[in-house]
Structure 1
Amino acid sequence: MNHDDGNNDRSRRRRLDDAARGDTPDRWTQGPEVAPRAKHEALAGRPGDSDETLRERQRLAQIEMMDRWIGGVLTEQRRTRRWKLFFRLLLLSVVVALVSLVVHRVYFAEPSGAAPAQEHLALVEVHGVIASDAPANAERIIQGLNRAWEADSAAAVVLHIDSPGGSPVQSQRVYAEIMRLREQGDKPIIAVIEDIGASGAYYIASAADEIVASPASLVGSIGVIYAGFGFQEAIDRLGVERRVMTAGENKAFLDPFQPLDESSAAFWQTVLAQTHRQFIEDVQAGRGDRLADDETLFSGLVWSGEQAIELGLIDELGSLEQLARARVGKAVWEDYTPSLDPFDRLTRRFTSAAAALLGIEVSHSPLRFEAR
């Protein structure tokens, strides 16, 4: 190998090293453009060139092509690494933001306990179905009631209700807490019904000192309901065998795949009647002699606000804004309902979905104080 070949090899290695470090420009897009004919002549050689010279030219052309290919590959790798780094930083930013939000909600979102200095209405929201696994659950409502009750600048505690009812037990727990606070006589407790305050929601409202509703609000539905289906014929037609084992002859008497006999139906009706009696007695204790002497009052019917005031189910027609102006001179209130824990809600939903998927029965009471 002559001196020129050594120089050429060193030059090629230097170009490869520069391309690996990214120090050389991309030959695919930069540098002087070579016309197709010139390229062909460079590969074909010139007249009089020896075979060895032609082979050397072809070898150099191949090496140059390889240089360009390696340079392109390295450029694409650098570009890919940059995008990977960008997306990793983006993902890290999202994770940090979510963690910060959760920490803020858990440790800093709750009020510090200092009520607003100006006089106001202390609101506690009762929205949606009343149930242990719903936002309107007894624990959350009771916690809000006590926080509102302890606020010195609160002119009144207001239960802001928009609910069709729900669990008898959850409703009874809230009712008992309102009656306990009401007996202390420190400040009035007022229920304001929006679109609907029926069944279990009215059960809660009846414990308040006063009930306010709009003329078109739906109020009442003082009754108890159990609803189910009978699939015994359907399961026979499908050829499915139902396997239920119990200890206790009546343990599965509400099984929808078995017929409900007369004795079981009669027993279940006594449970409904007893729960209904509890409902009636508590409403009477809360409303007193304001209730009209009407035999349909506890029949489960639901009335408009305009009808309800004639029956003594509510005390006044109005809205939250009107109540605030009458009590504190302007429409000002503060929400004392505890904020919802996002992880708790996610866990509850996941548990319910998993139970439904696995066919596991949840432990909710089949009885409902709910408008249908």
Structure 2
Amino acid sequence: MSEPEKSGNWEREVLEKVALAAVKEQRVARHWSIFFKILGFGYLFIILFLIMNWAGNSSIELTGKHTALVELKGTISANEVSADQIISGLQAAFKDKNTKGVILRINSPGGSPVQAGQIYDEIKRLRTLYPNIPLYAVVDDLCASGGYYVAAAADRIYVDKASLVGSIGVLMDGFGFTGTMDKFGVERRLITAGANKGFLDPFSPVNPQQEAYAKVMLEEIHQQFIKAVRDGRGTRLKETPDMFSGLVWSGEKSISLGLADALGSTEYVARNVIHAENVVDFTPQEGFADRFAKHFGVALGKNINPLANMGMGLR
């Protein structure tokens, strides 16, 4: 091989090595770029996650006398407006040294008798623990069933003249599919250990004994509800034959029945009753993680719990 050919091969080899090194360097740089982008997005996600949770669980520190507000909005249940959530807000409101009075603003069709009962009992406990801090219920559109159960624990109940108030009753709802199954030739095969394990199964004919037992159980809970209303309202209550039948009344009518005390909004009660016009919201706000866990838990529960579609409640 001649000298010019050797020189050309050497130069070609050098150029190939330089080109390969450049390609490798570009690949390494690209990999590091991707890595740092992923790291950056992950960092931003963590910061956002922490901020949302901090915002949802931050405590309130304020100066000056104020009216504390806790909102009860929606269906009362462990998976929606829970007793834990409302009780947490009420406790924070009463513990604040600058709280002059507490307003529980209610807009609810009712819900779980257990959750409503727990809130009722906690209101009574807090009023005993903090005798100088009054608690007033203020009704927006609706204060029915379990919502009214909670309101009955308040010192006074304020309504709008067009609010809907009452529905003092208990129900157990579900569905019956036996006719549909017969129509399509579907056979129900239910095997249980325990005569009443398939209690009110929607795919089986109604069992008269089980139905009678359910009515007795509902009546027992109904009497608990009635007692809570009587204890809470006392001599203000003007009982009528249909007061505890599940009917609802307008806010104006509820005042004449003793189910409520007067007309008034949140601003009115804060300004003219509590005499602390500054209203501070103590309603706990869920963070992102709490909402995700709750929604995931509800979906999972509905998938694995065969009784998820049968409900009992104050609504």
Shared fold, TM over 0.5:
yes
Q: TM-score, normalised by structure 1?
A: 0.75
Distance 2:44 2:78 in 1: 31
Q: Cα 1:193–1:84, aligned 2, differ >3 Å: closer, same or farther? A: farther
Provide Cα deviations, 1:196-245, integer angstroms capped at 9, x if missing partner: 22110110011100112223322211111111111123233444443323
Partner of 2:268: 322
TM-score (norm 2): 0.87
The equivalent of 1:64 in structure 2 is: none
- Choose the corresponding residue for 2:97, options 120, 140, 152: 152
User: Given that residues 144 and 336 in structure 1 are in contact (C-alpha distance below 8 angstroms), is that contact kept between their aligned partners in structure 2?
Assistant: yes
**Unmatched segments (≥5 aa) in structure 2:** none
Matched, 1:203 2:149: yes
CA-based RMSD? 2.8
Shift of 1:3: 1.8
Structure showing greater radius of gyration is 1
Contact 1:253 1:260 in 2 (8 A): no
| Residue correspondence of structure 1 range 17-96 to structure 2 within 5 A | 17-22=17-22, 74=23, 78=26, 85-96=32-43
Q: Does the 8 Å CA contact 2:301/2:308 hold for their aligned counterparts?
A: no
Unaligned 5+ residue runs, structure 1? Answer: 23-73
Q: How far apart are 1:288 and its partner, in Å?
A: 1.4
| Conserved? CA contact 1:119–1:328, under 8 Å | no
> In the alignment, which residue of structure 1 is the partner of 2:3?
3
Does residue 99 of the first structure (1) align with residue 46 of the second (2)? yes
Q: Secondary structure at the match of 1:159?
A: strand
- Please tell me whether residue 141 in structure 1 is matched to residue 93 in structure 2: no
Deviation at 1:96?
A: 2.2
Count, aligned residues: 314
Whole-Å separation in 1 of the counterparts to 2:136 and 2:310 = 29
* Equivalent of residue 77 in structure 2, options 118, 131, 134: 131
2:216 is aligned, of 267, 270, 273, to: 270
Higher relative contact order (CA 8 A, sep 6+): 2
Out of 93, 107, 132, the position equivalent to 1:162 is 107
* 1:285 aligned onto 2:231: yes
Q: After TM superposition, give the deviation of residue 87 of structure 1 in Å.
A: 4.4
Quote the offset at 1:190 in angstroms.
0.7
Q: Matched residues in 1 for 2:46 and 2:171: separation?
A: 44
One of 177, 194, 214 as aligned partner of 1:248: 194
Residue pair 1:355, 1:362 contacting (<8 A) in 2 also: no
Give the whole-Å Cα distance in 1 for the aligned partners of 2:280 and 2:307. Answer: 36
Q: Secondary structure at the match of 2:173?
A: coil
Letter paired with 1:170: Q
Tell me the residue number matched to 2:119.
174
